[in-house]
């Protein structure tokens, strides 16, 4: 993705918004085909790229724009193959919209005007956005822009499982402002009707939506995507099942029951295991939230895996977009 | 402006604090200028400081105020590997000061290589390039490949550059490789780091300090040309990846100001962070035609005994590269060469010398020209 001024034709890789020469808004220029121009086999290990050898390539699109691209083997061109059952990984280079476009494409999610979409952001803490506890206002705004541009009917819902009212969480996180700016009044999932599906009590809003977008804020050694999907359940139902069964069983049942969920895992800046934050520059996506959590923890080389995903064989999970080795980084270092 | 005094520490793995290295160099420069700190009316500093990080200091200028017990203006000009040159350029352009101390100190090599490398990586693009594997050696390997594709560059030529600089460093008591010459085969057979660049094509990260005193007073060394240009941090966004446009621009400014042409230069210190950068810079600085840098190194003209020696100090390659201190150490070498104080590595009858300092992969470039009166 490059940004170009329609008047002076200058181009930028960073989304600066306004051309400093012509003072007009820049256009987003998408690339269709990418071919390798030159390639270097790298044999020295570094903190961001511990596994060697790898290839660092300069690739060129059909408009002559050049980009950097890491690969695990020598490549002539870039081919991103979609797979609806995969965990999709894409590198965000400042531009979240590009990441979202590619994640939906890789997962073969068709978005049309008649679709009813429910977005469930992560909303668990009153901490400021830079703590990376909740979905970031930037991601929520990008998701809403992305959907509203396609004239899709969008609802945003969340609920609180602790003593802090959801309204308070929404306000402090900056997510309420984003929704209101986009003309959406978010609603409290706990106040909606819940429908019994075997021993699960799931929000009717979730069941009636054509597509539920589970927006997780991924965190090291945690199952943030899975944790966020629990909020589709009635609070008492979740607490009871957690006591009688386990979160693992609940998550597996939810996975079987909900076929309309897509998880978008936010990982531009993420929490390490000690809650400090670090830049990662990625976005994940997938229909299986457990797999998204497992692959994220694999990518960040997590030392301690949460019980829920401990037994998942990550090698059996299909990956689309960027490969694990291309993006793998030990974020504790 | 004139150079009144110069100083530098040995370039090695000393674990003195960055400010101790800067201070030592400053004291040598003051002694060389036959001055004391009360004669200085402004200081320009450049330093990245520490990868270990514990004592990393952002308010370095105030720390210097305390060390020198002065209350004069002290400013810092961070420009990573090009910091020394940019600090010197800044001092040249400061108005209303008679004597300006320009100094740098660096103790960046104080942790495991991966951590030091990561610290140095903050000198390049972090979001668009580095996550895609473009670290400094990789970036320069790709630039060299683009160059080779266009002009047919040869790794043999790069080997000769590394060999020449190591031969020179062996004669420089301040250099890391002092008294330790290496043979050409060792260069050629060194392990590949980022194809096609090998370990011996890369400069050596070390610690050290350097200082220069600029003065309005007339001395034996005059600064007759100064150029500074910047370029985009995303390497492949530049119009031409095969050359460093900022070098061409800075050189043009410096030559025009000095009223001379490249062929008038007797000795030069070039920013050889990688051997490929030195070769490309021959062309950018006007010492060779475009695509003919290889011919220049093969001709022997730039060897120590040649017509116009390049990097008689050993360069970043073999003297060592303490990031910000490099640009000032280049000036130290040229001043000493023009004064005729370089002993075994002395370039005979040098009257005009040039320094060329790069920050990042061509992101901030300064070129300075010095004349012996």
HEC secondary structure over B54-78: CCCCCCHHHHHHHHHCCCCCEEECC
Going from the C-alpha of B70 to that of each of A114, B36, B217, B312, the distances in angstroms are 73, 12, 22, 36
How high is the pLDDT of residue A162?
86
Please give the residue of chain B at the shortest CA–CA distance from A1.
B128
Distance from CA of B144 to the nearest CA of A (A): 10
Query: Which one is catalytic: B166, B174, B243, B321?
Result: B321
- CA angle (B121, A277, A174) in 5-degree steps: 125
Percent of chain A having pLDDT more than 90? 87
- Interface pTM, i.e. ipTM: 0.92
User: How large is the average pLDDT for residues A188-205?
Assistant: 92
Q: Label residue A108 by pLDDT band (50, 70, 90).
A: very high
Scanning A157-229, the segments in alpha helix (DSSP H) are: 166-173, 175-181, 204-208, 224-229
A126 pLDDT above the threshold of 90: no
Mean of the per-residue pLDDT values for chain A?
Answer: 94
- Determine the number of helices (DSSP H) and then strands (DSSP E) in chain A: 11, 16
How high is the pLDDT of residue B116?
87
How high is the pLDDT of residue A19?
97
How high is the pLDDT of residue A76?
95
In the predicted model, residues of chain B with pLDDT beneath 70 are none
- Which of A46, A54, A68 is closest, CB to CB, to B129? A68
B146 vs A37: CB contact, 8 Å cut-off? yes
Could you tell me which residues come within 8 angstroms of residue A20 by beta carbon, excluding any fewer than 6 positions away?
A: none
Q: For tokens 């998942």, name the residue.
A: A312
d(CA A172, CA A128): 7
Provide the 8-state DSSP code for A47: S
Is A219 strand, coil or helix? strand
Distance from CA of A208 to the nearest CA of B (A): 40
Q: For tokens 């990868």, name the residue.
A: B51
Contacts of B112 in chain A (CB under 8 A): none
Structural domains of chain B ordered from first start: 2-113+206-213 (3.40.47.10)
B240 has a chain A CB within 8 A of its CB? no
How high is the pLDDT of residue A294?
98
How high is the pLDDT of residue A14?
93
d(CA A173, CA A324): 31
- Is residue B321 flagged as an active site residue? yes
B190 has a chain A CB within 8 A of its CB? no
Contacts of B194 in chain A (CB under 8 A): 40-44, 56
How high is the pLDDT of residue B353?
98
Mutate which of B111, B120, B132 to test chain A, going by most A C-beta atoms within 10 A? B132
CATH of region A87-327, choose from 2.60.40, 3.40.50, 3.30.1950, 1.10.287 = 3.40.50
Going from the C-alpha of A12 to that of each of A78, A168, B174, B233, the distances in angstroms are 21, 39, 43, 11
- Is residue B271 flagged as an active site residue? no
B191 vs A69: CB contact, 8 Å cut-off? no
Contact A96, A268 (CB under 8 A): yes
Contacts of B129 in chain A (CB under 8 A): 68
Contact A150, A113 (CB under 8 A): yes
Count the Cβ atoms, other than its own, within 10 Å of residue A329. 20
| Cα atoms in the Cβ-side hemisphere of radius 13 Å centred on B147 | 27
How high is the pLDDT of residue A79?
87
User: How large is the average pLDDT for residues A133-151?
Assistant: 95
- Is the bond leading into A289 cis (omega within 30 degrees of zero)? no
d(CA B144, CA B319): 23
How high is the pLDDT of residue A127?
87
Provide the 8-state DSSP code for A258: -
B-facing residues of A in 34-73 (CB < 8 A) are 37-50, 54-56, 58, 66-70
How high is the pLDDT of residue A66?
94
Count the Cβ atoms, other than its own, within 10 Å of residue B2. 17
Share in percent of chain A as helix, strand, coil (round to 5): 30, 30, 40
d(CA B133, CA B7): 38
Q: Where are the domains of chain A?
A: 2-71, 87-327
Contact B326, B314 (CB under 8 A): no
B182 has a chain A CB within 8 A of its CB? no
Copy the structure tokens of residue B144. 């060299």
What is the pTM (predicted TM-score) of this model? 0.93
Q: Which residues of A111-144 are buried (b: 16+ CB within 10 A; e: fewer)?
A: eeeebebbbbbbbbbeeebeebbbbbbebbbbbb
Going from the C-alpha of B148 to that of each of A43, A168, B312, the distances in angstroms are 21, 61, 26
Going from the C-alpha of B296 to that of each of B196, B293, B303, B349, the distances in angstroms are 21, 5, 10, 21
d(CA B159, CA B150): 20
Provide the 8-state DSSP code for A160: -
Contact A106, A82 (CB under 8 A): yes
The H or E element that residue B11 is part of is none
- Is the bond leading into A53 cis (omega within 30 degrees of zero)? yes
């Amino acid at each position: 993705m490059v940004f170009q001024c329609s008047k002076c034709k200058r181009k930028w890789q960073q989304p600066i918004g306004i051309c400093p020469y012509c003072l007009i808004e820049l256009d987003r220029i998408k690339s269709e085909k990418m071919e390798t121009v030159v390639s270097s086999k790298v044999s020295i290990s570094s903190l961001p790229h511990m596994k060697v050898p790898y290839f660092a390539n300069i690739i060129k699109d059909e408009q002559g724009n050049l980009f950097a691209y890491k690969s695990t083997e020598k490549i002539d061109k870039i081919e991103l193959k979609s797979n609806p059952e995969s965990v999709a990984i894409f590198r965000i280079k400042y531009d979240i919209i590009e990441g979202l476009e590619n994640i939906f494409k890789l997962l073969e999610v068709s978005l049309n005007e008649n679709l009813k979409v429910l977005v469930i952001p992560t909303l668990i803490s009153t901490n400021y956005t830079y703590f990376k506890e909740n979905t970031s206002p930037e991601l929520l705004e990008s998701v809403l822009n992305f959907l509203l541009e396609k004239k899709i009917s969008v609802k945003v819902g969340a609920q609180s499982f602790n003593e802090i009212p959801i309204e308070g969480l929404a306000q402090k996180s900056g997510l309420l402002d984003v929704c209101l700016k986009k003309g959406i009044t978010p609603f409290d999932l706990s106040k909606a009707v819940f429908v019994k599906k075997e021993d699960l009590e799931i929000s009717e809003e979730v069941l009636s939506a054509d597509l539920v977008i589970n927006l997780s804020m991924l965190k090291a050694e945690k199952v943030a995507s899975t944790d966020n999907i629990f909020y589709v359940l009635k609070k008492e139902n979740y607490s009871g099942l957690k006591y009688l069964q386990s979160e693992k069983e609940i998550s597996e049942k939810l996975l079987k029951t909900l076929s309309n969920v897509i998880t978008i895992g936010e990982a531009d800046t993420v929490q390490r295991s000690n809650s400090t934050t670090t830049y990662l520059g990625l976005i994940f996506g997938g229909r299986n939230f457990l797999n998204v959590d497992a692959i994220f923890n694999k990518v960040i080389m997590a030392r301690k895996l949460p019980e829920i995903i401990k037994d998942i064989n990550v090698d059996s999970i299909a990956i689309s977009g960027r490969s694990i080795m291309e993006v793998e980084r030990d974020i504790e270092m | 402006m004139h150079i009144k005094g110069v100083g530098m520490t040995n370039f090695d793995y000393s674990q003195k604090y960055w400010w101790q290295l800067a201070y030592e160099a400053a004291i040598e420069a003051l002694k060389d200028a036959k001055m004391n700190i009360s004669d200085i009316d402004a200081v320009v500093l450049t330093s990245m400081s520490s990868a270990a990080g514990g004592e990393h200091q952002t308010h370095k200028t105030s720390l210097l105020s305390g060390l020198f017990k002065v209350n004069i203006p002290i400013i810092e000009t961070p420009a990573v590997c090009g910091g020394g040159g940019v600090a010197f350029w800044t001092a040249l352009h400061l108005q209303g000061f008679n004597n300006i101390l320009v100094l740098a100190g660096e103790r960046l090599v104080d942790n495991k290589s991966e951590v030091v490398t990561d610290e140095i990586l903050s000198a390049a693009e972090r979001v668009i390039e580095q996550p895609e594997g473009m670290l400094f050696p990789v970036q320069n390997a790709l630039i060299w490949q683009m160059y080779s594709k266009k002009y047919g560059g040869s790794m043999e030529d790069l080997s000769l550059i590394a060999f020449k600089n190591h031969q020179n460093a062996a004669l420089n008591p301040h250099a890391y490789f002092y008294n330790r010459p290496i043979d050409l085969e060792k260069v050629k057979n060194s392990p590949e780091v980022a194809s096609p660049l090998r370990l011996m094509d890369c400069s050596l990260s070390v610690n050290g300090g350097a200082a220069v005193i600029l003065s309005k007073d007339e001395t034996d060394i005059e600064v007759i040309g100064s150029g500074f240009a910047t370029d985009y941090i995303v390497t492949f966004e530049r119009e031409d990846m095969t050359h460093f446009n900022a070098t061409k621009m800075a050189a043009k400014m410096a030559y025009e100001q000095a009223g001379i042409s490249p062929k008038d230069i007797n000795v030069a210190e070039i920013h050889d962070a990688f051997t490929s950068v030195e070769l490309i810079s021959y062309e950018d600085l006007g010492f060779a035609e475009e695509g003919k840098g290889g011919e220049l190194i093969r001709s022997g003209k730039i060897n120590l005994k040649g017509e116009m020696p390049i990097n008689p100090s050993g360069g970043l390659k073999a003297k060592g590269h303490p990031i910000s201190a490099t640009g000032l150490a280049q000036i130290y070498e040229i001043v000493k060469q023009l004064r005729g104080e370089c002993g075994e590595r002395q370039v005979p009858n040098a009257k005009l010398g040039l320094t060329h300092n790069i920050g990042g992969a061509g992101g901030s470039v300064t070129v300075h020209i010095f004349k012996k009166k």
